[in-house]
Amino acid sequence: MNYNTSRPKMIIPEYGRHIQKLIDHAVQLENREERNEMAQAIIDVMGQLNPHLRDVEDFKHKLWDHIHIMSDFKLDVDAPYDVPKQEELNTKPNIMPYPKNNIRFKHYGRGVEQLVDKAVEMEDGEEKIALIESIANLMKKHYLSWSRSSVDDEQIKVDLKKISRGNITVSDDLELIATKDISTRNNNSQRNRGKTNKKRKRKSFGSKKKF
CA 202 to chain centroid: 26
Radius of gyration of the chain (CA): 29
Distances (CA, A) of 69 to 6, 47, 60, 117: 22, 16, 14, 47
Task: Please list the pLDDT of the chain residue by residue as tens digits (211 residues).
Answer: 555 566 677 788 888 889 999 999 999 999 999 999 999 999 999 988 877 777 677 888 989 999 999 999 999 999 999 998 887 777 777 787 766 667 778 888 888 999 999 999 999 998 999 999 999 999 988 888 877 677 888 989 999 999 999 999 888 888 888 888 776 765 665 566 655 666 665 655 454 444 4
Closest CA to 118 of 106, 108, 109, 127: 127
Nearest to 27 by CA among 79, 87, 65, 68: 68
**Domain spans of the chain, in order of start:** 7-89, 99-177
Q: Tell me if the pTM is above 0.85.
A: no
